[in-house]
Amino acid sequence: MSSRTLPRSFPKKELLMSYKPLYHIFSDGAFLNDPNGLLYENGQYHVFYQWNPSYPGGKRVGWAHRCSTDLIHWTELPPALLPDNWYDRCGCYSGSAVMKDGKIHLLYTGNVRDDGCERETYQCLAASDDGEHFTKYAGNPLLSGPAAGYTAHFRDPKVFADQNGYAFVLGAQTTDEHGRALLYRSPDLLSWKLDGALQFDDPELDDFGYMWECPNLFELPDAATLQKHAVLLFCPQGLKPWGMRFRNRYQCGYIVAPRTFNGTGAFIGGSAFEEIDRGFEFYAPQIFSAGKRTLMIGWMGMPEEEDQPSAQENWMHCLTVPRTVWMENRKLFQWPVEELDGLHGEKQSISLLPLENEAAKLPDFSGACYDMRLTFDTTRAQSLTLSLRQSEQQEIRITFADSVLRIDRSRSAYAPGDPVREVRLRHPEKLDLRILSDRSAMEIYVNGGEEVFSLRCYLEEDAVHTHVGIQGKAVLTKGEFYPMHA
Ligand code: FRU
């Protein structure tokens, strides 16, 4: 294979001063996990998240709060919830937001460990008059403990309003250790009744992990048929790896019902469970509506995987960028919100670059914070490799061969467990990649958002280059590169 460096138009040197992302939400000096309470109201986007400012010395989890009018510039507001009541003293765990009487209402799980270290779980409410300061409901908790037949792993209410009032889905575990999503209903957000566990027609889901965390229940129209479908998106724990599937420590995926949601627990799952992200770090996402758009933000982390180099800088984990979500033929697609283009610097581009048994360096396409789009015609290629964020020692490597796209981060400073994730593409004749690189965070969108890989990538300062390698013939039909500015 021959190797060439394409002429570059201007020299560029970007110093990677730290692992801290420029345009992904993280919390400096703190531990961040699940996004909570995602809401669009009155021209404002609200993002809350699980936040432990005592990290790394201790654990005191509350909800941090940020808001934005454009999804790219975020203002930090006072923490919305702190673990200062008897029913949430060991943590204000995950939950969600809904509007009622013009006020933001938050539903969340109060986590308590009793003196014997046994877990107690309470579902709680807080509300705000000004969208900034939240007061916990005097009648808390709304639910004291789990329903009969369930353990104290009973958390993460995701609330919504419908024609029958309010409802939430909740992550739960049966006493014989099977994960479930429960539906509760309320006329007023204050008194709640269990409707039942969501029902599926796929028997595989009866025994599908020992706990389901962070469920979301929502509806989407299918772009192919225009028919609306209910979707359950959730995070089952305890699934075994199976071929290319379920390679993360814990999973996150969805089931599409053949119909809309009928308001009760009789949700009949039509499709098989499909992972929403192919790894490595994606968990506990929340879905919310913003005008005509359905948006999603996920946690770019994984429970119990905290041994990351960012610990040296006293922070841990980040969120994904906001993504638009839609459905085509009962499959969910994702794409970064278009507002992100507002962070673009000067565009570099390539068109119609033929490649034949060679490796080419794309010198204009270099940096650590960028938005890069590459479209290849691969009909005559045996394989294609793409080295991202490459230095002499390091890279994130993408390989595409026999319809399988593979991401390998073994040559980076954080690769716990299996350093490879793979997916078989449904339309392998072309390969369209959009790569969001943000220092130690990377999101890879494949073929128009049909597949997404989210990962943390810890790389040295000079790991900024992009290389393409082809066996056989291929054409880089279009390449666009934008440095990203905060
Ligand atoms: C998911 C999760 C939730 C819980 C929260 C606690 O990552 O375990 O189930 O509410 O994190 O921080």
How far does residue 170's CA lie from ligand 1's centre (Å)?
12
pLDDT above 90: residue 256: yes
CB 440 within 8 A of CB 332: no
Kindly report which listed range (250-264, 277-291, 435-449, 470-484) carries the lowest average pLDDT score: 250-264
Which of these, 334, 337, 109, 108, lies nearest to 233 by C-alpha position? Answer: 334
Task: Read off the pLDDT of residues 43-68 as tens digits, 9 standing for 90 and up.
Answer: 999 999 999 999 999 999 999 999 99
The CB of 93 under 6 Å from ligand 1? The reply is yes
CA–CA distance, 36 with 341 (Å, rounded to integer): 25
Say which residue the tokens 């990203």 belong to. Answer: 484
Residue-level pLDDT at 248: 96
CB 47 within 8 A of CB 24: no
Give pLDDT, residue 370: 98
Distance in Å, CA 303 to ligand 1 centroid: 8
Does the beta carbon of 36 sit less than 6 angstroms from any atom of ligand 1?
no
- Residue 259, C-beta contacts closer than 8 angstroms, at least 6 positions apart: 228, 229, 230, 268
Cβ of 412 below 6 Å from ligand 1: no
pLDDT band for position 8 (cuts 50, 70, 90):
low
Please give the number of the atom of ligand 1 that sits closest to the Cα of 301: 7
The answer to whether the CB of 26 falls within 8 A of the CB of 32 is yes
What distance in Å separates the CA atoms of residue 340 and residue 1, rounded to the nearest whole number? 37
Angle at CA 332, nearest 5°, toward 271 and 106? 100
d(CA 301, CA 128): 29
pLDDT tops 60 at residue 122: yes
For residue 171, how far is its CA from the centre of ligand 1 (angstroms)?
10
Index of the ligand 1 atom closest to the CA of residue 109: 10
Q: What distance in angstroms lies between residue 397's CA and the mean position of ligand 1's atoms?
A: 31
Enumerate domains of the chain plus CATH numbers: 31-339 (2.115.10.20), 344-483 (2.60.120.560)
Q: From ligand 1's centre to the CA of 34, what distance in Å?
A: 7
Long-range contact pairs involving 140-144 (C-beta distance under 8 Å, separation at least 24): 140/85, 140/87, 140/110, 141/87, 141/110, 142/107, 142/190, 142/191, 142/192, 143/184, 143/192, 144/87
**Ligand 1 pocket member 281 (CB < 6 A):** no
* Rounded CA separation 279/295 (Å): 19
Phi, psi of 207 (to 5 degrees): -130, 75
Ligand 1 binding pocket includes 61 (Cβ within 6 Å): yes
What is the residue-averaged pLDDT of the chain?
95
Best of 31, 34, 81, 180 to mutate for ligand 1, by most ligand atoms within 8 A of CB?
34
Mutation pick for ligand 1 pocket among 31, 59, 213 (CB with most ligand atoms within 8 Å): 213
Residue type, 306: E
Q: Which ligand 1 atom is the nearest neighbour of the CA of 95?
A: 10
Residue 17, pLDDT score: 64
How many whole angstroms from 93 Cα to the centroid of ligand 1? 6
Q: Is the pLDDT at 365 greater than 60, yes or no?
A: yes
Distance CA 148, CA 37 (A): 27
Sign of the Cα pseudo-torsion (224, 228, 229, 233, in order): positive
C-alpha Rg value of the chain to the nearest Å: 23
| 214 CB near ligand 1 (under 6 Å) | yes
Worst-scoring range by mean pLDDT, 67-81, 229-243, 260-274, 334-348? Answer: 260-274
pLDDT at residue 263, rounded to an integer: 80
Q: Which amino acid is at 53?
A: P
Q: What percent of the chain has pLDDT over 70?
A: 97
What is the pLDDT averaged over residues 109-137?
95
Q: Is 51 in the pocket of ligand 1 (CB under 6 A)?
A: no
Q: What are phi and psi of 373, to 5 degrees?
A: -125, 125
Q: What is the pLDDT of residue 436?
A: 98
pLDDT tens column, 222-248: 999 999 999 999 999 999 999 999 999
pLDDT at 114: 83
Task: Give the nearest ligand 1 atom to 61 CA.
Answer: 12
| Amino acid, res. 142 | L
CB count in 10 Å sphere of residue 131: 18
402 is catalytic: no
Identify the pLDDT of residue 115.
80
Atom of ligand 1 nearest to the CA of 303: 7
> According to the model, what pLDDT value does residue 14 have?
47
Q: How far is the CA of 375 from the centre of ligand 1 (A)?
A: 38
Which of 34, 156, 277, 371 is an active site residue?
Answer: 34
Q: Is 155 in the pocket of ligand 1 (CB under 6 A)?
A: yes
Ligand 1: residue of 27, 94, 173 to mutate (most ligand atoms within 8 A of CB) is 94
Contacts of 242 (CB under 8 A, 6+ apart): none
Whether 213 is in the pocket of ligand 1, judged by its Cβ within 6 Å, is yes
Q: Give which of 170, 183, 199 is closest to 270, Cα–Cα.
A: 199
Which candidate, 469, 442, 468, 464, places its Cα nearest to that of 453?
A: 442
Q: Choose which residue among 155, 248, 305 to substitute to test ligand 1 binding: the one with the highest number of ligand atoms within 8 A of its C-beta.
A: 155
Q: Whose CA is nearest to atom 9 of ligand 1?
A: 213
CA distances to 11, 67, 121, 344 from 134, rounded to whole Å, are 50, 15, 21, 36
What's the CA-to-centroid distance between 102 and ligand 1, angstroms?
28
373-416: pLDDT as tens digits? 999 999 999 999 999 999 999 999 999 999 999 999 999 999 99
Which has the closest alpha carbon to 476: 335, 372, 371?
372
Pick the closest to residue 216 from 246, 251, 247, 255 (CA basis).
255
Q: What is the pLDDT of residue 287?
A: 98
pLDDT of 201 > 60? The answer is yes
Cα–Cα distances in angstroms (integers) from residue 295 to residues 149, 330, 332, 391, 453, in the given order: 34, 17, 12, 35, 17
CA of 409 to the centre of ligand 1 (A): 26
User: Is residue 13 very low, low, confident or very high in pLDDT (cuts 50, 70, 90)?
Assistant: very low
- Say if ligand 1 is within 6 A of residue 109 CB: yes
pTM above 0.85, yes or no: yes
Confidence of residue 11 (pLDDT cuts 50, 70, 90): very low
pLDDT of residue 7: 66
Ligand 1 and 408: CB distance under 6 A: no
Q: Is the CB of 211 under 6 A from ligand 1?
A: no
| Residue 442 Cα to ligand 1 middle (Å) | 23
